[in-house]
Structure 1
Amino acid sequence: MNYVRIARRIARIAATNPEVDRWTDRSRVRHDRPMLRLGAVVMNVSDVDRAGAFWSAALGYTRQPHNAAFLVPEGAAGTRLHLDEDDSTHLDLWADGEADQRAEVERLITLGARRVDWEYPEDADFVVLADPDGNLFCVIA
């Protein structure tokens, strides 16, 4: 089972679900500036339940009922924390659709990011890049 693929699909569904819009304030996105927002920090952990209990208490975040590995700020918009036992720690940068994603990927490359050889699933909504220091991150449509 590909947990990364499942997590990304859930994140995409959650991002369009009106019930979770309170966690993602899209009205603050300005298109005269970069069209990306820090959607999530994906953190590699050895035990999702233990890490979820710790980080929920440490940050005052709430575990989402549909997936306890997704933690969100309680009662406010902000960056989510995704706990994952298989994926490496990285940032998920969210774009508002495929056109913005393509434009942002190209903009990031001109800033010094590079494309990474990656085995993408057929329905991938993300592009994996590396920053100038080699740190991986995803740009998600």
Structure 2
Amino acid sequence: MLTVGSVVLGARDVPGMVQFWRAALDYRPREEPSDDWAVLVPRDGQPGQQIAIMLVTSVADPAAPQRHHLDLYASEQAGEVERLLGLGAQRVEWDYPADADYVVLADPDGNRFCVAQK
């Protein structure tokens, strides 16, 4: 049987992404991050999936669709979106369906993620 060990995000600025995702998710580094790799885990006793951040050197087209993203669930979606924007996230222009319960944002490195109303 397989289990998910980490969700891995590619980044051009690993220290910057560590700073953003630590604050966004209230996570901590599993061990001291390096300039090209970090693993973030929930604070002791908190539920959540481990997130790894890996240095990528390829210059991807920012307009190209991503194949993977995080869905973050929030009980107070509007407040969380504003908090994440304050941490450096950016709004993404998106064609939302009429019944959308999510907002698409991008972290400071351009990785898209959704904040969904729980």
Name the TM-score class by shorter chain: 0.3 to 0.5
